[in-house]
Structure 1
Amino acid sequence: MRRGPHHGHPGHGHGPGPRGGRLLDAGLLLLISRGTSHGYPLIEAIREDLGLDVPDVGAVYRALRRQESQGLLTSTWETGATRPRRVYTITPAGREVLEIWMRGVEEMREALERLLQVWKGDTQ
């Protein structure tokens, strides 16, 4: 069954895994699933932990707002010693979408490994 923004899962593109700009979406959900966070540490973790390029920092904040509007994340305002900041938490729907994406990534990785084996002549 096809799922996506028009097929029952908000934020999930056509097909089994994240592609193109959806890597940022998947990365954000993955990082937030490991604990609540806010914008700047997420940007650093996307770059350092996931190795993804973030040429447009604004794209991260737009993705967070979009995922929140789709019900994949919730946010609260945290006030403290520093300026107020929006802290994000993944929702059960966000965990479900993340699980679907990660299964798709595993399937894609396996297919790419087979493709490379055939290309190298090692089809064992």
Structure 2
Amino acid sequence: MDPTPQRLVLVAETDPVLGLDLADALETAGYHVVGPLRTAAAVEAWLAGWTPAVAVLDVQLAGRSSATAAQVLRRRQIPFVVHTASAIHETLPDAFAGAPRLCKPAWTRDIVDLLAQLPHPAGTPR
């Protein structure tokens, strides 16, 4: 089955177990999942050729911030959820400002539900 662009979700998660668990939950919810991608370089390389409908970003990917990826998503007006080990009261880089944030360990169901609440382009199934 070819990925439907409206249901394509990018998962950028440094922890392989969390990433695979989240990818499985998103696939069960009907999304076509790219990832989990574990490094900022891998995320940036994928974004150079593709555009997801939504994304889940870990702030730190294998020792480097995913802020550049967040900036690319913002420029393209792609909504994303921040899934981070940073405490809720910690300030994140500006690239993540205003994005919904869930602190690890978040329930995968909460992430899936939050993605469904994000604004989607007109005509995009949720």
TM-score between the two structures when normalised by the length of structure 1: 0.34
Higher strand share: 2
Whichever of the two has the greater Rg, that structure is 1
Higher helix share: 1
